[in-house]
A and B are shown apart, each in its own frame.
Chain A
Amino acid sequence: MAVRDYIRERFFPHLWCPGCGHGTIMGAMIRAIENLGMRKNNIVIVSGIGCSSRICGYLDFHTLHTIHGRALAFATGVKLSRPELTVIAPMGDGDAFAIGGNHLIHAARRNIDITAIIMNNNIYGMTGGQSSPSTGYGDFATTAPYGNIDRPFDVVKLAIGAGASFVARTTTFHVTSMIKIIEKAIKHKGFSVVDVLSQCPTYYGRKNKFSSAVEMLKYYRAHTTPIGSKDKENNPELIERGIFVDEQLPEYCEEYEKIMQTASQGG
């Protein structure tokens, strides 16, 4: 099918700003799903609140646009109730790491088969550019007018520490590898976290001296490197991208299936 066959065109134009990276992520998600040959009726998208979460309206799957930070909690209800469905939770960085941080680590701990795609633009866009848990130290935001003194989460380390069985990072510049990574994350049996660095030229860019979306994409090209590259050895400041963890661990719904078998035998 063509990309447009996965989109609810009558709800366009979308509300993302010109130059926003979120449309690129949506395109990559659609291409990954197309490549996997999945049926639209088998896919559930659960989002929270923010610019990222509006992806729900645009995608022609089962879409659940919930409340701020709780996408994974709703997704857990859907997945445990209907384990045969593929559940994908696109979230913003505020959604996933601030208000919803607890749900992220517990979904990882349970290893429930949900794919969390973090549309990480280092800012609260919908509310007008406030600092988020992934806004860098010294960065500017509308609530950090003198520079941000909070230290940002290292999202990959956070997910690994919480026990996620698939952890990856990519950017909106590296679209081809993003598609492959999302494919693998969806196929992975267990909780997957894909951190996608996504440009917000309107707020993060403007506050932090990026002249355009293109400048921000060039920044992703120049400041990221594949995991374990030589460049990283020479320049430890580079952000690594690729798949950090991909291991098979007992999945929550499968474990629950065993509980039901034990219980029904009167155990």
Chain B
Amino acid sequence: MKKNVLFLQGNEACVEAALYAGLDFFAGYPITPSTEVAELLSYRLPRKGGKFIQMEDELSSMCAIIGASLTGKKSMTATSGPGFSLMQEALGFAVMTETPCVILNVQRGGPSTGLPTSGSQGDVMQARWGTHGEHAIITLTASNNQDVFAMTVEAFNLAETFRSPVILLLDEVVAHTRERLIMPEQGEIRVVERLKTSVPEGTDYHPYLPREDGRLPMSDFGGIHRYNVTGLAHDMWGFPSTNPEAVYELMRHLVDKIQGHTHQIAMTKEFYIDDAEILLISYGSSARTALHVVEDRRQRGEKLGLLELQTLWPFPDGIVKKRCSGVACVIVVEMNMGQILHEVKRVSDNPGNVFLANKIDGSFIAPADILNILRIIQGKGA
């Protein structure tokens, strides 16, 4: 059968994937460089009976998708740095109330208004710790259209599986690069639907009582079970509780359900890695340059390899630790001042051999930016 091949932007690939995953509800606010997502969905969603609303700001966009998700709809919003900052409080509400939703943050240069039309990977730690309080979070990223599609679908899947907000952390370069997307057929990529309770009407339903496997079946808010949802620490009924035992159980559950499933959530891609002596670790648009350098040097017989991270949070400790062992050195390639570098150093047995090749001026990482570091490491001078 002839494949459906499209030529489009990363933001458009994300929209195609969200619809493939069953997106029913989008709320958003215009912001560069993510605006195309809202524009496209305002056209596409009503055609399939889905809901689109342009809210008054990013705070309300985040709140609206949580409200919609609780009623049983797959929901998402899309934004960039300043808007992502505004969403943090409500994002924590989604964590606390275990409401599945997807937040696309197309990273641009920051802080503040920064470089609205330039690429950056400066929000990696904000994705991890942007909302207040101890918590775990899932964050995915991608470097090309095909992966943007796969990771977007996976973001929805993980949101439903773990009843958690999932952050899709793209960057401006990926979002605005026009390239090929081979549109997957229906059924080609797994789509996870919401786990709903089988508790019948009239029988007590506990919205926050995890099953043995840690999952919590949901009941559509506004449906047959009336229950309370609160951002306060709560018991299995969803009622506010300050009982240390109940709070402890809740906190452990919120963190363990994600950290304890890192092996299931952690996704990476490996290129020329088995015999690699120099390992590059990268993600997003930076990984494209890193891959170019690896392939170029391989042609000259130099044993470089690339570990591309697709899951940033929970950090794939096990995979990174394993791949860092046995290589002469590791170079982390990213468009910030070392946000993933420090994670790699944390898990590596030899943190002294982990180096950074980065760019923070809004321009794209060029092969020379990596090669310059490589020359210094190899003792060839700057």
Contacts and interface: CB of A to CB of B under 8 A. Distances in A.
A54 to B, nearest CB: 8
Contacts of B240: 57, 65
Contacts of A262: 46
Contacts of B63: 66-67, 70, 73-74, 76-77
Contacts of A73: 55, 59-61, 63-64, 67
A102 B75 CA distance: 23
A62 B226 contact: yes
Interface in B1-35: 24-25, 27
B104 interface: no
B226 A77 contact: no
Interface string A146-185: 0000000000000000000000000000000000000000
Contacts of B226: 40-41, 60-63
Interface stretch (B227-235, B256-264, B360-368): B227-235
A76 B73 contact: no
B137 interface: no
Interface in B83-134: 89-90, 93
Contact of B64 (A40, A77, A82): A77
A229 B67 CA distance: 42
A191 to B, nearest CB: 14
> Among the interface residues B61, B63, B89, which one has the most CB atoms of the partner chain A within 10 A?
B63
Contacts of A75: 67
Contacts of B93: 66-67
A188 interface: no
Given A62-B226, A66-B93, A78 B70 contact: yes
> Among the interface residues A40, A56, A81, which one has the most CB atoms of the partner chain B within 10 A?
A81
Given A63-B228, A77-B68, A260 B49 contact: yes
A75 B55 CA distance: 12
B205 to A, nearest CB: 12
Interface residues of B, number: 44
B25 A81 contact: yes
A62 B60 contact: no
Q: Is the contact region of chain A dominated by helix, strand, or loop, or is it mixed? A: helix
A264 B53 contact: no
A56 B65 CA distance: 20
A103 interface: yes
A66 B68 CA distance: 13
B59 A56 contact: no
A65 B229 contact: yes
Contact of A57 (B59, B66, B67, B230): B230
A259 interface: yes
A57 to B, nearest CB: 6
Given A61-B226, A70-B59, A256 B68 contact: no
A196 interface: no
A70 B64 CA distance: 9
A62 B51 contact: no
Contacts of B70: 64, 78
Interface residues of A, number: 38
B223 to A, nearest CB: 8
B224 interface: yes
B67 A65 contact: no
Contact of B67 (A41, A77, A106, A256): A77
Contacts of B27: 76-77
B325 interface: no
B239 interface: yes
Contacts of A60: 226
A163 to B, nearest CB: 13
A259 B46 contact: yes
Contacts of A74: 63-64, 66-67
A80 interface: yes
Interface in A213-266: 256, 259-260, 262-264, 266
B269 interface: no
A78 B67 contact: yes
B222 interface: yes
Given A75-B67, A78-B222, A85-B222, A57 B49 contact: no
Given A65-B229, A65-B230, A76-B64, A81 B46 contact: no
Interface string B231-261: 1100000011000000000000000000000
B62 to A, nearest CB: 8
Nearest to B96: A67
B211 interface: no
Given A81-B71, A103-B60, 17 more contacts: A41-B223, A63-B226, A65-B229, A66-B63, A70-B63, A74-B63, A74-B67, A76-B64, A77-B25, A77-B67, A80-B53, A81-B25, A81-B68, A102-B60, A106-B60, A260-B46, A263-B47
24 contacts: A40-B226, A41-B222, A46-B67, A57-B239, A62-B222, A62-B226, A62-B227, A63-B229, A65-B231, A65-B232, A65-B240, A73-B63, A74-B63, A74-B66, A76-B63, A77-B66, A78-B71, A80-B25, A81-B24, A81-B51, A103-B56, A256-B46, A256-B53, A260-B46
Interface of A: 11, 40-42, 44, 46, 56-57, 60-67, 70, 72-78, 80-82, 85, 102-103, 106, 256, 259-260, 262-264, 266
User: Which 5 A-B pairs rank lowest in CB-CB distance, beginning with the nearest?
Assistant: A77-B67, A77-B64, A73-B60, A73-B63, A263-B46
